[in-house]
Amino acid sequence: MSNKDLIAAAFEKMMATMFIDDISVKDIMNECNLPRTVFYRCFHDKYDLMAYVYSNAIEKQLNNKANYSYSDVVKVCYSYMYEKKDFFNKVVRYKNQNSFLQFLNDYSYRTTYDAICKSFHFRQLDNKSDCSLRLYCHGCTSLAEWWLETGLKMPVEQICEVIVDSVPICLKEYFDNMTF
């Protein structure tokens, strides 16, 4: 296991009983028995680590198979948040600088933008599509926040259906035909 993964595992273990504001880098490194300097070789701060936990898990799952559809990716992401609901319920409550929600919005936008450009051999999206994608990702992030904060009362399949069915009309062709 890499140092990054050891640190992430220690952080996830601590998040089972604590909130992110109550966890220091020193605490994390004591938990995984590594020197503090190793942390800063791997991450900028604990918020960077928080983002890594999510992105690393999602990317590992997506690397198991080539050419995921958009609906497949949404299901992978929300299934993971459901599986780790205690962790995500805590990180979503942190609303300050470097929040998970800001990361999730940026990550969703960046990966979807890149998938569209790659699938359709675009250098960049036109302004209308770009603005629509930004708005859509922001809405999806807000929905994820609501879903986590209200105790995941809506089943994964249903929230994924809402997200996929809410794709803006001007992006529908891209989303229906792109792969990740």
Q: Which domains does the chain have, with CATH numbers?
A: 3-42 (1.10.10), 66-177 (no CATH)
**DSSP code at position 20:** G
Q: The pTM is what?
A: 0.89
Dump pLDDT digits (tens) for 112-155: 999 999 999 999 999 999 999 999 999 999 999 999 999 999 99
How big is the chain by its Cα radius of gyration, in Å?
Answer: 17
Both tokens of 125, joined, read: 């999206």
DSSP string, 105-130: HHHHHHHHHHHHHHHHT-SS--HHHH
Q: With H, G, I as helix, E, B as strand and everything else as coil, classify residue 178.
A: coil
**Residue 64: pLDDT band by 50, 70, 90 thresholds?**
confident
Cβ-proximal residues to 44 (8 Å cutoff; 6+ apart), any chain: none
Give which of 29, 28, 26 is closest to 14, Cα–Cα.
28
The answer to whether 5 touches 75, Cβ cutoff 8 Å, is no
Dump pLDDT digits (tens) for 10-62: 999 999 999 999 999 999 999 999 999 999 999 999 999 999 999 999 999 88
Encoded amino acid at 26, one letter: K
Is 1 a residue whose pLDDT tops 90? no
User: Please, is 89 exposed, middle or buried when counting C-beta atoms within 10 Å of its C-beta (0-12, 13-18, 19+)?
Assistant: middle
d(CA 50, CA 56): 10
